[in-house]
Amino acid sequence: MASKPDVRVHVRRFRKTRDLTQQDLADRLGVTRQTILSIEKGKYRPSIELALLLAREFGCQVEDLFELVEGDSDGLDP
């Protein structure tokens, strides 16, 4: 049986390139810092709406922030 793909999260990398804190990003999106932390750690998968807002904030596609990967990935940026 094929393994279920994992989601690799690149939000932290995008946030760092913009020199934003988790709180800065949370304030811009109207969520809590804990939400951003949980997304970055791969413990929470954002709603479609929040994923689209993140992509808009960073000027990228949702697929640039969240990537499906095969295998036993931990879901965090390599």
6-68: CATH topology is 434 Repressor (Amino-terminal Domain) (1.10.260)
Provide the 3-class DSSP secondary structure of residue 71: coil
Q: What pLDDT shows up at residue 65?
A: 98
Q: What pTM, to 2 d.p., does this model score?
A: 0.84
Strands (E), 1-78: 6-9, 66-69
Domain locations in the chain?
A: 6-68
Q: Which of 3, 23, 9 is nearest to 78 (CA)?
A: 9
pLDDT at 70: 82
Task: List the pLDDT tens digit at each of the 78 positions of the chain.
Answer: 567 779 999 999 999 999 999 999 999 999 999 999 999 999 999 999 999 999 999 999 999 999 999 865 555 655
CA distances from 48 to 43, 53, 55, 69, 71 (A): 16, 9, 11, 19, 24
CA distance 17 to 71: 28
